[in-house]
Structure 1
Amino acid sequence: MPKLSRVLSRLFPASVIPVSVLPNEAEARALAALLVAQGQRALIHRTAAGFAVEVLA
């Protein structure tokens, strides 16, 4: 079983780096898929301006 600190660091990362805010979910998912294909961990969430894509640091 993994250590608790390792589990918590996976669940609550130290920082995220904003990449872009896109007007629709399809574009945000496409960008996130591209980032994942490059080996990064991407995060998508809804904002007032559309959908934000961020990379987990």
Structure 2
Amino acid sequence: MSIFSRALSHLFPAIAIPVSTLPNEAQARALAALLVAQGQRALIHRTAAGFAVEVIA
């Protein structure tokens, strides 16, 4: 695997596992901070129902 393709796979992971959907951004950021403190990589994005928090596998 080339350095370029490894870099792309780290920037754009293939799998993100949904953890929760929260009504506001502050709650989503707090949950993401908790996940990061536990050593996981977290992702937040806006959805129609609020903000989704996902863990990057």
Q: TM-score range by the shorter chain?
A: over 0.9
Question: Superposed, which structure 2 residues align to 1:20-31 within 5 Å?
Answer: 20-31=20-31
Q: d(CA) in 1 for partners of 2:5 and 2:29? A: 30
Question: Superposed, which structure 2 residues align to 1:1-40 within 5 Å?
Answer: 3-40=3-40
The yes-or-no answer on 1:53 pairing with 2:53 is yes
- How far residue 44 of structure 1 moved from its aligned partner, in angstroms, is 0.2
Q: d(CA) in 1 for partners of 2:41 and 2:21? A: 17
Unaligned runs of 5+ in 1: none
- How far residue 5 of structure 1 moved from its aligned partner, in angstroms, is 1.3
Q: d(CA) in 2 for partners of 1:12 and 1:24? A: 25
Could you state the TM-score of these two structures normalised by the residue count of structure 2?
0.94
Q: Could you say what the CA RMSD is over the residues aligned between the two structures, in angstroms?
A: 1.1
Q: How many residues align?
A: 56
* 3-state secondary structure, aligned to 1:39: coil
Could you state the TM-score of these two structures normalised by the residue count of structure 1?
0.94
- How far residue 6 of structure 1 moved from its aligned partner, in angstroms, is 1.0
